[in-house]
Amino acid sequence: MDISGRLIKILPEVRGESQRGPWVRGGFVIETDDTYPRQIAFTLFGEDRLAMLNGLVMNAPVMVTFSPESREYQDRWYTDLRCVRVMPFSGAAANPASTAAAPVAAAPAAAHAAAPAAAPSFASQPASGDDDLPF
């Protein structure tokens, strides 16, 4: 899976020792450029993966390829977003995506024009005294 956003934080490295030998884990957080921005934390496991963070600049746009993984521990589920690749995201790559999004932006206007025809179907439902929801 891929997602783009702005690099806002690099998490500290954690080192340890297992039966297989030494290990290192780190991570970073990005903020998406959506209408409602989301902050998403990713983990990197191993020296080679952590080295991918060396060339990145804070608050710069990045493209992240990741793999979601979940596991159960004592009847609770934990999800981890393991980063496979992170690289700077150039503005030139964003232009084709913005032109692809242009037809989608026109679609809500057409759907909005059809909304008055659909509105009477909701109004024709009988009102119930038990339901005090505003919608």
Identity of residue 57: V
Residue 129 lies in a domain: no
Cβ atoms within 10 Å, residue 7: 21
Residue 78 lies in a domain: yes
Domain of 37 in residue numbering reads as 2-93
* Domain membership flag for residue 105: no
**Number of domains forming the structure of the chain:** 1
Chain segment 9-60, per-residue pLDDT in tens: 999 999 999 999 999 999 999 999 999 999 999 999 999 999 999 889 999 9
Residue 10, in any domain of the structure:
yes
CATH code of the domain covering residue 43:
2.40.50.140
Tens digits of residue pLDDT in 71-92: 999 999 999 999 999 999 875 5
Whether 30 is in a domain gets the answer yes
Q: Does 132 fall in a domain?
A: no
Residues 6+ apart with CB under 8 A from 42: 27, 28, 29, 30, 64, 66, 81, 82, 83, 86
104 belongs to a structural domain = no
